[in-house]
Structure 1
């Protein structure tokens, strides 16, 4: 699936599918110690301001949030350094045409600080965004969230997170099966443990020492990782 630049609403999958893939990444990279950190990078659920959204921060140039609202609605917002929105003149109103409920799902302090340069909202089964000027070249959606817009891209990215390459037998299949379970809503404790064990096996067999595998160290770890994906 090719992502337009700037992004188009049809580039994004159904909000439920996007949430499921994002949550799968958060579970696959879950670490009990990192759950205690105030400043984080990677994928996680819930923020320091008490929100219940999914977050992604690559630790460098891309930061995104997906929140769900009542009635199968959702808001995707964020910023990537590839975006031209923040430097465009005159300023683009990212909430032009947005229904009132969208305003209540955004961090307006971040919007006013220019730390949000991309806003899409999901309602009645489709994504929408504010209209862009014809000469705007990029809103950051592709570089920021492109890897979550299709199953193939998501599998490729999650393999890259664990430094799996084509020589790692079983890696693609394990990641694809885990994402499929997440999208179908069939994740169980057994599915999570099996995935974590397979990642650890591959990393050990191929001597991939970094990043750390999602080892299930205790029953509480297993419960937390499973609950994270099942909230999809």
Structure 2
């Protein structure tokens, strides 16, 4: 990934949606307090570390939005002035929501997808980093997605590679349009850690269904 990040660092929105939904499913089903939320504005992650966050929204007509901030890596001011990460954004963006985000100085990056490519504002030369890699390294790396998802199972005595393979198989089913409720159950119950609480399969199924990734 470039420093600062560039639009070509992000994979296709549909790939990102699949990854984000799977991360949310596993986190919500296997941890005591999920950092993810799915609502009419998209899929959110509120806990990327030190108050970092991101939101992914996929719209009709081949459009998408990815925004967020990494408090340790996002440089949001130049010469004391807050950067306008929305400058020149297209009309179809959810402007009311984005203006609220901007007013709270919540942005370190805003990328939008249209006409088959990601876009962002031209960064000032003084901007050293936008924080995309710190907040969401998985947007350009399937390997990072697998690693992060595997860590959410919270089964310390199960080898990480086994979890990575389990997640990879499920992601392939989603891409092929063959993921169903049985596949979700198999994903979440595959790691049989000693003393591990039963995963909340119903919660994951609700996310997967509302996100539209099941066959």
**TM exceeds 0.5?**
yes
Alignment partner of 1:56 out of 37, 40, 45: 45
What's the CA shift string for 1:154-207, capped at 9, x where partnerless? 1111122234588357322112112222344332111101111103x1x23xx6
Distance 1:214 1:105 in 2: 37
Distance 2:168 2:129 in 1: 30
Task: State the 1:54 CA deviation.
Answer: 0.3
What's the CA shift string for 1:72-120, capped at 9, x where partnerless? 2011111111334323224322122211112537431121121122110
The residue that corresponds to 2:6 in the other structure is: 8
8 Å Cα contact 1:32/1:221 also seen in 2? no
The residue that corresponds to 2:212 in the other structure is: 230
Alignment pair present for 1:43 and 2:25 = no
Alignment pair present for 1:176 and 2:164 = no
Which sections of structure 2, spanning at least 5 residues, go unmatched?
none
Matches within 5 A, 1:183-198: 183-198=175-190
What's the CA shift string for 1:122-161, capped at 9, x where partnerless? 0011100000012311101000111242211111111222
8 Å Cα contact 2:21/2:207 also seen in 1? no
The residue that corresponds to 1:100 in the other structure is: 91
Q: With structure 1 as the length reference, what TM-score do the two structures score?
A: 0.79
Q: With structure 2 as the length reference, what TM-score do the two structures score?
A: 0.84
Q: Are residues 135 and 107 of structure 1, via their aligned partners in 2, closer, same or farther at CA, if it must alter by over 3 Å?
A: closer
8 Å Cα contact 1:178/1:191 also seen in 2? yes
Kindly tell me the number of residue pairs found equivalent between the two proteins: 211
Highest RCO, 1 vs 2 (Cα 8 Å, sep ≥ 6): 2
Alignment pair present for 1:144 and 2:135 = yes
Which moves more between the two structures, 161-170 or 52-61?
Answer: 161-170
The residue that corresponds to 1:37 in the other structure is: none
Which sections of structure 1, spanning at least 5 residues, go unmatched?
35-39
8 Å Cα contact 1:7/1:138 also seen in 2? yes
Q: Are residues 192 and 166 of structure 1, via their aligned partners in 2, closer, same or farther at CA, if it must alter by over 3 Å?
A: closer
CA RMSD in angstroms comes to 2.8
Distance 2:124 2:5 in 1: 12
8 Å Cα contact 1:197/1:215 also seen in 2? no
8 Å Cα contact 1:96/1:130 also seen in 2? yes
The residue that corresponds to 1:67 in the other structure is: 57
